Amino acid sequence: MSLTVDDVNKIAYLARLGIDAQDTESYAKDLSGMLDLVAQMSAVNTDDVTPMAHPLDQIQRLRPDQVSETNNREAFQAIAPQVEAGLYLVPKVIE
């Protein structure tokens, strides 16, 4: 499996991940190498195998629908890059 520079740029955009233009080629090479490694999996037939999501096959635990946490808004917002009036600020998204 070989990824092109274009592929890398597309994937990087999906991940909202900036990568320097001069590094794209080396990412393409490294990622292609990783996908070659991963391709060894196709040598094994797994048609009748159930995918394993949790080592102990546990299912998601549910809890009673009750308030269990205290409000920590101020502590959490104290470490935010930009807040105002209890809201997280981002660049304008609606024109």
Told to check if 58 binds another protein by CB under 8 A, we report yes
Residue 25: CB minimum distance to another protein, A? 13
Number of residues that bind another protein (CB under 8 A): 52
Told to check if 66 binds another protein by CB under 8 A, we report no
Residue 66: CB minimum distance to another protein, A? 12
**CA-atom Rg of the chain in angstroms:** 22
Structure tokens at 93: 């998204």
Q: Give the contact letters, 22-51, x = binds to another protein (CB under 8 A), - = no.
A: -x---x--xx-xxx-xxxxxx-x-x--xxx
Question: From start to end of 20-95, where are the E strands?
Answer: 83-84, 87-88
CB atoms within 10 A of CB 28: 19
- CA–CA separation, 77 and 12 (whole Å): 29
Angle in degrees, CA 19, 11, 44, rounded to 5: 125
Which residues lie near another protein (CB under 8 A)? 3, 8, 11-20, 23, 27, 30-31, 33-35, 37-42, 44, 46, 49-56, 58, 60-61, 63, 72, 75-76, 78-82, 88, 90-93
